[in-house]
Structure 1
């Protein structure tokens, strides 16, 4: 290993002549040392202290491994060479200082964005960002990015409305990262970093996803060849991003905040819990430079996220009328305090606000299951328009921009051009059969939305018995399990995710082929966000609405709030002969699940009662004991029940092994195709329409 001494004068260090020579480790005494004067106040007097000090310039020390161990050898740099190296260092330091001011000088010489990213180059983004965009193949900005980024770089407040999967995260993320990178020093320190940007998201999964996307933009791509410095501890990043969400260790998140983060992505609940115990964080939020509300319509719904109001109050500018002025003439004026107040006021006035969502209309938030009749004040005019979500935001947010830029690129009726819709009219009791029919007929990555957690718990064992890979996602799962199920769903091509509406907003799951509305959503904006999990980034997607007779009115109102008619969604044709065969499978699986659940539930209740009584030191009466003995099956009864369940499972296994033969189709398993038929239907290139009994009645299937 080679250690270089400082090229400046070093006291009490080995020396050598000013010409380039090699000196062995045993010749140190022969080097030309130069004596320097000793300070008078050093306290080293007499023969007991150090007699004299010597110094040297331009020595490099190398360690060589020999049989006697590691020995040091000295290399003296020639004076002319030394001056050249010092001049090079000074030039590098000057470049670093210039780069610290605008963040572009050095790296622009490395990455040519004008030729490699011609569509991104006019924005003038930081080279680190353009390099990451090129590496991740984001070669062309999306419409919302092209419209929002130039405005955001001019320090304007932005309200963006665009369809799901259109790249809204980078639309506000890139301007924020650009400005933070430009203001950051080239050699960041490990000191505490105050929060400069706060991004609020309604769900944990969305907050973690935003954090991942921003870190992807910040972290330059690494070389495939491992360098010699990979094992060395890496310096702190120039801009750091951290996530604060519920369901994870609060102590670990507090340690992250103690270290500091430039960009904080958080859910309102967990963030407010930490703010109540962290006065430093509350003060930092008062001087934010950037505030982002992602999926803003969900964030301000009535009855949701009460903590959001408390957080937004910290970002408000103080009203001069509310400030208490001290009129005592005898009190001295603290000019330093006035300067700090002025700086804080300037920081408050310079905050930039971003509001992004796929839907920003109050009409979409009406609960379609309730008869909503807005109350008009007595003096209201007939032409008055109902309050919108943007009006609510203007009341709750303190836009520094007098006229925020509103960019509305949302499609008419909330329907993405690459999305094809279909519906199935069936009884509520038959929805399981129709769902099983669709999953067999159209293999792929399918996201099934339900309105209740109980519905997921009922469907999950059925899918397992029917050999369908399904994973649950709802709010009562631990955060670790939720993330694990998401990863499994993303990695398995033909899988099903049974989810509540926590998965409806913002989640970017690659290649979701189908979205099934097993239960009608409560509002039109939820319907739009559910559909947004497929047909993302100009990919084709399919959405199916399962509607029972008692849900027809709800569906009609839902589509009416979107400005659409019920007949616009075409009904799908069902092969009833095939449906009857599948119904037998589902009924048998339901019988097995009911038998197992009944036995498990009875056993669980008895054990819970006994354990609770023991914990409370209560003796159970004889009636409970005798009743438990009568309900508790004997060994013979348990064996009989287990044999019955085993027989039913064997029967179901035999049924699942039999091929399903559709009319006009050769005898093959219905899932034998490698490409889902829906891909052909939505692309308009259906070649099997004459043989498909289950298809949307589009132009190619009539």
Structure 2
């Protein structure tokens, strides 16, 4: 019996932070049980990852080691996010995550063990195919997650190579946050069935406001706006990495705590900054559209468009980072007097006047700590929790999000507890490994 027609989802829900799957997820479970090719169209933040992971896991569990699945995603961040969600289900199914910036040798050795699930980015997956580490025809289920984004990023050649090497008849799940019409020629000629939940993409809980300023004062206006918002969880979008760096420098000069994210950064720095934003040790994230889709960014209160995108779809995806599901949120559009609203914005927006006087908010109450041990040391979240409570002297409810990477672990704790914790854990061992703790830079 598959997950789609099994009314008892408790084995999965026991490991998830909610009590029931949503309408879209249930609809996909049912469709995946009866169709060999399914396209899921749903807005960012609606739960597409779990929608396909549950039937994927069911199939791998039912058919045993002979069944293998492949998930193709457009970015390293999304690959790591899906890996975390998959592992949180505690299925016992082995997996290997492949992406640029990760050691090829580590992935190659892992692939030799024939994991039940392989997930990764088109570029790195194609490298493994060319090296003979992956045979695409061995997968009986293939998921193309955020497929439109992979096309937008120019992975046509790598995807073409993957499809050309598939000679069998695998099942396909394809997810997208935008309508693909027509479907690209590279996709197999199949009887695709579509579940369209994009009608829900425009949230009635999102309030939009226009902030007018001069081009000379635009950056200072953004600074005052962020200060006026009190340092609450906010995502600021720029069109180019140069603008992200420029805004970051301004905030740094004013001792305004923040993180940044763009494609020009080293992978480890991107991961750390996303972790800090997720765990609440940074409440302001300045980013390009790299942060607009697919990433597991926590529910945030505000989205600020420092620079407006040229396409309506990009604008929709940005706004989708707030007012997700049934929550409310606010979007601010910062517009200089010599700039014009794009054609896709036809509705008149109320103006928001930023106060001239401002005070830089206090840093977040949580701080992010670095621990010099990770997956390679077989460290688990339970190990970290026990170490911080028994050795570090923290209470369990004081410990925030724990993120375990290959060679490092990051955890959020109350800022005022950092000094005592570092003293208590200095020179101590975590799971028989002597580790170093320090504030994540």
**If the length of structure 2 is used for normalisation, what is the TM-score?**
0.75
For the residues of structure 2 that align with 1:149 and 1:462, how far apart are their CA atoms? 48
**How does 1:135-534 map onto structure 2 within 5 Å?**
135-184=15-64, 196-219=68-91, 237=92, 239-278=93-132, 280-282=133-135, 285-301=136-152, 303-315=154-166, 317=167, 348-349=168-169, 351-360=170-179, 389-393=180-184, 395-400=185-190, 402=191, 404-411=192-199, 414-443=201-230, 444-492=232-280, 495-534=283-322
Instruction: Answer whether contact 2:123 2:155 (CA < 8 A) is retained.
Output: no
Tell me the CA shift for residue 399 of structure 1: 4.8
Segments of 5+ residues of structure 1 without an aligned counterpart are 1-101, 105-119, 185-192, 220-236, 318-347, 361-388, 560-564, 586-702
1:551 and 1:293, CA in 2 relative to 1: closer, same or farther beyond 3 A? farther
The match for 1:558 among 337, 344, 356 is: 344
- Give 3-state SS (helix, strand or coil) of 1:558's partner: coil
Could you tell me which residue of structure 2 aligns to residue 647 of structure 1? Answer: none
Q: Give 1:302 deviation, angstroms.
A: 7.8
RMSD: 2.5
Q: What pairs up with 1:632-647 in 2 under 5 angstroms? A: none
TM-score (norm 1): 0.48
Q: Give 1:595's aligned residue.
A: none
In proportion to residue count, which structure has more helix?
1
Aligned residue for 2:134, secondary structure, equals helix
Q: Which has the higher contact order (CA 8 A, sep 6+)?
A: 2
Q: Please give the alpha-carbon distance, in whole angstroms, between the structure 1 residues aligned to 2:223 and 2:31.
A: 48
Matches of 1:257 and 1:213, distance apart in 2? 20
5+ unaligned residues in a row in structure 2: which ranges?
Answer: 361-441
Distance 1:208 1:494, change over 3 A: closer
- Computing the radius of gyration over CA atoms, which structure comes out larger, 1 or 2? 1
In 2, the alpha carbon distance for the partners of 1:452 and 1:354 equals: 32
Separation of aligned partners in 2, 1:212 and 1:166: 17
The reply on whether 1:571 has 2:357 as its aligned counterpart is no
**CA contact under 8 A between 1:195 and 1:261: conserved in structure 2?**
no
1:390 offset after TM fit, Å?
3.5
**Which structure has greater strand proportion?**
2
Query: Which secondary structure state, in structure 2, belongs to the residue aligned with residue 448 of structure 1?
Result: strand
- 1:302 and 1:137 map into 2 onto residues whose CA distance is 32
Contact 2:259/2:282, CA 8 A, preserved across alignment: no
Q: What SS is found at the alignment partner of 2:327?
A: coil
Q: 1:442 to 1:257 in 2, by over 3 A?
A: same
Task: Give the C-alpha shift of residue 516 in structure 1.
Answer: 0.9
